[in-house]
Amino acid sequence: MRTVACCSVLFSCTSAPAGGGEVVRYNRPQLTLANAGFELGAVAWKPLAENLVGFEITSDSLEATAGRRSLKIDLSRSRVFGEGTFRLVSPWLTLPGGGEFEFSAQVKAASAGRKVALRVINGVAKQALRSGKQRRGGAADHEAISTAWTPVAFSGTLPVAEKDAYRLALEFEAPGVYWIDQIEFRHRGQSICAEAELTAGLQPVDRKTKLSAAPAQIALQLWLANRAERPRDLKLQLHLASRLHAGQDLPAQAVTLAGQTSRRHVFTIPLAHADDYRLEWTLRETAGPLVAQGVLRLAAHNAQLPAATAGEAVWGMHLNAMNLEITLPLLRQAHVTYLRNVLQLYWSQVEPKPGKWQWPDELIAYLQEQGFQFLPILGFPPRWASAPATPGAPDLQNKMPRSMEEFRNYLREVTGRYGRQITRWEIWNEPNLPRYFDGTPGDYGAVLAAAVRAFAQLQPQAQLAGLSLAWSDDNLAGFVQQALAPSQARPQAVSFHPYEKIAPEQALMEKIEQLRLQVRELCGYVPELWATETGYRGRDSINAAIPYYSPPRPATVDEMTQAEYLVRHALLAKAAGVKYYFCYSMDSERSRSGPDVHGLLDHDAEASVKPALLAYVTLAQLCGDAVFERREELANPGQYLMHYRRADGRRFSALWQSEGTATVALPASVQRAEAWDFFGNRLTPAAGKLPIQTRPVYFLQ
């Protein structure tokens, strides 16, 4: 199937924060665009494949315009699911002060008639903007290109906006094979594509494998471009730092580069442990001058963990359909096999016009080939099937169904097509927030009750989760009362999104218990508890694409705290009775705006693994579907020793303290157990003692 993404320029304007507080600016995006001629391969450029798998990016020294290399995009073997797109995007750039711009590139294709489009993307998430704060500017049309080098270009005006982070994108239709060269971007008449006489960049040889199996030898490639006539003798110095282990200087690399040429220097480095690494590199001429420097993030996991393979899959991920070739292998090897959101069966998606059904059969087949299960969200009718909007409500696709009979027909069609493949479903998403549901709690209760009755006839063996509560609602108990009491809706499970801005020990278990008791009182039974979306905001992810961050905004945490909070949150949620746990979210990338601040992959060009992802997959493997047994009382009330029982009969335990560090004698219950840190490295107690910190230590016996 051929597909072309729509092309637009998305801009936004926002005012300064209320209250007179100063706006905080974290790591400011760069002012210039590096590697605009692709002499360094794809260094600094990032592929974004949405609903598309099967792409290859290579440097081509046989096809070029002004320089010695171009970039080859091979989509000839791509599998496209629905309206799939492939984009190559630049780093985030600072373009202050608005004004005119011109964006151009040289492009050619292996066959005539292929199309490409240029875009400029603003870094502000659309949903974060108030009404009237978003503007759309002029857009480049998709241009047909030939088998000869073809110039493509468009121009427009950037608004004078507080949010001044942008990225450039080229969109290609699949299937096809393309070459691109000589990007040029001029802002208010000045080029931002300046290239130095000698440039360099470092990246992994394999850009799709994000977690290596420790101990590992990782192949890296140093790209070099010398625009001067004289040759260069260079020295590459390397320092490898990590989160949990001592840093080390690696052997220096000697590199010779002829004049007026570009080349690739390949070498390997060791990753000895499961850890999150930072490779700090500097490149100097042997005479002394600094040529380039940077930091490359790498990660390794323990592939020999005694993973819990018995029992059912209970660990999940809220996943968008971005770069599935990267995200799915990571999840599969960690036994995180339940996916939410990637398979969208919203009514508006599958029946956009009355009786005109469109189904994601190819995506379902592909995901099942990879061994994944699904938790689809049902609801969100198309406009033609929606009730009238509440006066003054925003024009969003969040309305009540106009007819319960039409709603039941939608459920009938979905279960008739996928009922044999999917046995768990969720009704709506966060209906207690107006942006997702334009109606009263009683209205949602009526929808949920209709769904429960319909499934009792259409798919009686299915498990249905209702409520899908946003934890942030101050009137959570009131919504539950008004949704469940009058409607008599009795779902098999209650789902909720227990996001926290504080350490999970402070309130999480109590809030889950309050919800469980309330639902038991209203329904007369205790349904299963599913945490279908939860996570922590990572401060390190927001800096580039959301360049200004106001002090009154919700608290964010650094990357290691995000990792620690996430796994402690999961352990306490399991202790409170949660059966299925879905982390939000895998990828920081979103197709038309800045990165997701909860993402477990970095927004950098390599989509690097963050500590929270490494910690989450380690927990999922060791814990499996273990059922909580008890919390063992310790002398220090701030220390937590939690015991769980896996389906294979082994006892899994986790020990941590809510703050600080202490070396403690291990309790008798875990003295004979195997021990691991929260990244999956084996630990050996010294004289029966281990240092206990805010990151959990795991035991298995």
Tens of pLDDT, residues 378-431: 999 999 999 988 777 667 778 999 999 999 999 999 999 999 999 999 999 999
The Cα–Cα gap between 442 and 427 comes to 14
DSSP-assigned beta bridge partners for residue 151: 106
3-state SS, residue 657: strand
Continuous segment of H or E residues that includes residue 87: strand 79-89
Q: Is 638 helix (H, G, I), strand (E, B) or coil?
A: coil
Q: How far apart are CA 377 and CA 398, in angstroms?
A: 13
What pLDDT is attached to residue 28? 58
Mean pLDDT (whole number) for 231-235: 96
Q: In 570-688, at which residue ranges do the beta strands (DSSP E only) sit?
A: 578-584, 627-632, 639-645, 651-657, 662-665, 674-676, 682-683
Average confidence score pLDDT of the chain = 88
Q: How far apart are the first and last CA of the chain?
A: 52
pLDDT at residue 592 in the model: 63
Segment 619-673, tens digit of pLDDT: 999 999 999 999 999 999 999 999 999 999 999 999 999 999 999 999 999 999 9
How far apart are alpha carbons 453 and 433 in whole angstroms? 24
Q: How far apart are CA 523 and CA 518, in angstroms?
A: 9
Q: Whole-angstrom Cα distance, residue 538 to residue 246? A: 24
Whole-number Å distance between alpha carbons of 420 and 414: 11
In this predicted structure, what is the pLDDT of residue 587? 86
pLDDT in tens, 518-535: 999 999 999 999 999 999
**Can you tell me the distance from the alpha carbon of 695 to that of 569, in angstroms, rounded to the nearest whole number?**
11
* 3-state SS class at 681: coil
Mean pLDDT, residues 676-697: 96
User: Phi and psi at residue 625, in whole multiples of 5°?
Assistant: -95, 35
d(CA 641, CA 442): 42
Amino acid at 246: A
Tens-digit pLDDT profile for residues 53-83: 999 999 999 999 988 999 999 999 999 998 8
Asked whether the CA dihedral 451, 457, 458, 461 is positive or negative, the reply is positive
Beta strands (DSSP E) in 550-606 are: 578-584
574-to-377, 424, 537, 570 alpha-carbon distances in Å: 22, 19, 21, 6
Position 4 confidence tier, pLDDT thresholds 50, 70, 90? very low
With a pLDDT cut of 90, the percent of the chain lying above it is 75
pLDDT at 212 over 70: yes
pTM for the model stands at: 0.92
Per-residue pLDDT band at 99 (split at 50, 70, 90): confident
Question: What is the per-residue pLDDT across 100-123, written as a single tens digit (0 to 9) for each?
Answer: 999 999 999 999 989 999 988 876
| 63 or 334, greater pLDDT | 63
What is the tens place of the pLDDT at every residue in 559-613?
999 999 999 999 999 999 999 999 999 988 876 666 677 889 988 889 999 999 9
Tokens standing for residue 472: 């942030």
Q: How far apart are CA 426 and CA 249, in angstroms?
A: 51
pLDDT of residue 447: 97
Give 450-456 contacts, CB < 8 A, sequence gap 24+. Answer: 450/404, 450/407, 450/408, 451/378, 451/407, 451/411, 451/427, 452/489, 452/490, 452/491, 454/408, 454/411, 454/412, 455/411, 455/415, 455/425
Cβ-based burial of 88 (10 A; exposed 0-12, middle 13-18, buried ≥19): buried
Quote the CA–CA distance of 655 and 670 in Å, as a whole number: 10
* Element of type H or E holding 101: strand 99-109
Domains along the chain? Answer: 9-191 (2.60.120.260), 215-301 (2.60.40.1710), 315-384+438-626 (3.20.20.80), 630-700 (2.60.40)
**What integer pLDDT is reported at residue 24 of this predicted model?**
41
Render 369-427 in DSSP notation, one character per residue: HTT-EEE-EE----GGGBPPPPTT--S-S-BPBS-HHHHHHHHHHHHHHHTTT--EEEE
Largest interatomic CA distance in the chain: 83
Residue 700 predicted with pLDDT over 90:
yes
Q: How many CB atoms sit inside 10 A of residue 503's CB? A: 17
d(CA 460, CA 472): 33
In sequence order, what are the beta bridge partners of 423? none
Closest CA to 166 of 10, 330, 361: 10
Supply the pLDDT for residue 497: 97
**Distance between CA atoms of residues 319 and 533, nearest Å:** 10
Q: Which residues pair with 217 in a beta bridge?
A: 270
Confidence category of residue 355, pLDDT binned at 50, 70, 90: very high
**Rounded to 10 degrees, what is the CA torsion of 35, 39, 43, 49?**
100
**Which DSSP string corresponds to 425-477?**
EEE-S-TTSTTT-BS-HHHHHHHHHHHHHHHHHH-TT-EEEEEEEETT-TTHH
| 3-state DSSP helix/strand/coil % of the chain, to nearest 5 | 20, 40, 45
From residue 306, alpha-carbon distances to 229, 329, 510, 652, 699 in Å are 57, 19, 32, 11, 11
| Residue 66: C-alpha distances to residues 36, 72, 145, 183, 460 (Å) | 12, 16, 19, 11, 66
d(CA 130, CA 149) in angstroms, rounded, equals 43
pLDDT > 60? residue 129: no
Count of other CB atoms within 10 angstroms of residue 49: 23
Q: What number is the average pLDDT over the span 127-134?
A: 30
Q: Which of 25-29, 252-256, 275-279 has the lowest mean pLDDT?
A: 25-29
pLDDT at 20 over 60: no
C-alpha to C-alpha distance for 649 and 647, rounded to whole angstroms: 5
Is the CA virtual torsion 45, 46, 50, 55 positive or negative? positive
Q: Are 478 and 436 in contact (CB under 8 A)?
A: no
Extended strands (E) in 142-289? 143-145, 150-158, 165-172, 177-187, 190-191, 198-204, 212-213, 216-226, 232-242, 248-257, 261-271, 275-285
Give the gyration radius of the chain's Cα atoms.
26
Q: What is the pLDDT of residue 264?
A: 96
The per-residue pLDDT for 140 is 54
| pLDDT number for residue 555 | 64
Collect contacts of 417-422 with beta carbons under 8 A, ≥24 apart: 417/359, 418/345, 418/364, 418/376, 419/458, 419/459, 419/462, 421/364, 421/368, 421/374, 422/373, 422/374, 422/376, 422/462
476, 529 in Cβ contact below 8 A?
no
